[in-house]
Chains A and B, each alone.
Chain A
Amino acid sequence: AQSVTQLDSQVPVFEEAPVELRCNYSSSVSVYLFWYVQYPNQGLQLLLKYLSGSTLVESINGFEAEFNKSQTSFHLRKPSVHISDTAEYFCAVRGLGGSNYKLTFGKGTLLTVNP
């Protein structure tokens, strides 16, 4: 079984400031890792994923996350945020192997970008 801990429930920042949203996971097997974003009144959207290969993964809108196996972490970062990045961000994990495709989510981090 897997579990995910998002250490911050809310992160307020000013526009153009850097941000880091923290995610730690627990698993007895190797994992795939994901970040999803939910904008107000919308469904969750896949922001980025780590399946294999390079431990640093990037999204098209400037976010990046680094898989750190020793720290069991997958923190999300952006060097300069915009007002439009205001949303709730969810870290998720799935264990390798089998036909079980279910994702295990953290509780979410609400990122609020202020002008």
Chain B
Amino acid sequence: EAGVTQFPSHSVIEKGQTVTLRCDPISGHDNLYWYRRVMGKEIKFLLHFVKESKQDESGMPNNRFLAERTGGTYSTLKVQPAELEDSGVYFCASSLADTWYEQYFGPGTRLTVT
């Protein structure tokens, strides 16, 4: 069974540019989560999808971040325009509906904004 995959693994962009991160959850997992780890800090929750609906987006930093999950399968996280403080590792995780506590994480996308 394939795990959670994320693309790209690394992205280096300039301040003001746009970047789109993609996450493919484990097949059949209705719950999809985005987290972010800024260097030296803790991993912080961004948002949670149940199928295609946003269940909780309380962790989204500001309106430069837009997450979508069309069709309830893969998800994208767009940052537009990127700022220096957006640099970090963005993790995606997924879980089954009944076992929310077993969140399976992807390897992360390392985003560097210069």
- A interface residues (Cβ-Cβ under 8 A, vs B): 4, 32, 34, 36, 41-46, 49, 51, 90, 92, 94, 99-108
Known interface pairs A102-B45, A102-B48, A103-B45; A43-B56 also in contact (CB < 8 Å): no
Q: Is the CB–CB distance between A44 and B33 below 8 Å?
A: no
Contact indicator B101/A51 (Cβ below 8 Å): yes
Q: How near does chain B come to A20, taking the closest CB pair, in angstroms? A: 20
Interface residues contributed by chain B, number (CB under 8 Å): 28
In the assembled complex, B106 has its CB within 8 A of some CB on chain A? yes
Known: A101-B100, A108-B42. A43 touches B33 (CB 8 A): no
7 A–B contact pairs at CB < 8 A?
Answer: A43-B105, A46-B102, A99-B56, A101-B48, A102-B33, A103-B35, A104-B42
Question: How many contacting A-B pairs (Cβ < 8 A)?
Answer: 62
CA–CA, A51 to B101, complex, Å? Answer: 9
In the assembled complex, the CB of A66 is this many whole angstroms from the nearest CB of chain B, namely 18
Contacts of A36 in B (CB 8 A): 105
**B73-114 near A? 1/0 per residue, CB < 8 Å:** 000000000000000000101010000111111111000000
Q: B4 in the interface, Cβ–Cβ < 8 Å?
A: yes
Contacting residues, chain A, for B64 (C-beta < 8 A):
none
Neighbouring A residues of B43 by C-beta, 8 Å: 44, 90, 92, 105, 108
Contact check, B45 vs A104: say whether CB atoms are below 8 A apart.
yes
Q: Which residues of B contact A103 (CB under 8 A)?
A: 35, 45, 103
Given A42-B107, A43-B4, A44-B91: A102 and B102 within 8 A (CB)? no
Q: How far is the CA of A101 from the CA of B101 in the complex (A)?
A: 8
Task: Type the 1/0 row for B38-72, where 1 means its CB is closer than 8 Å to any CB of A.
Answer: 00111111001000000110110000000000000
User: A101's contact among B3, B31, B91, by CB below 8 Å, is which?
Assistant: B31
Find chain A residues with CB under 8 A from B40 CB. 107
Are A43 and B42 in touch, CB under 8 angstroms? no
* Residue numbers in B under 8 Å from A105 (CB-CB): 35, 42-44
Distance of B30 from chain A, by nearest CB (Å): 11
Instruction: Give Cα A32 to B101, complex, Å.
Output: 9
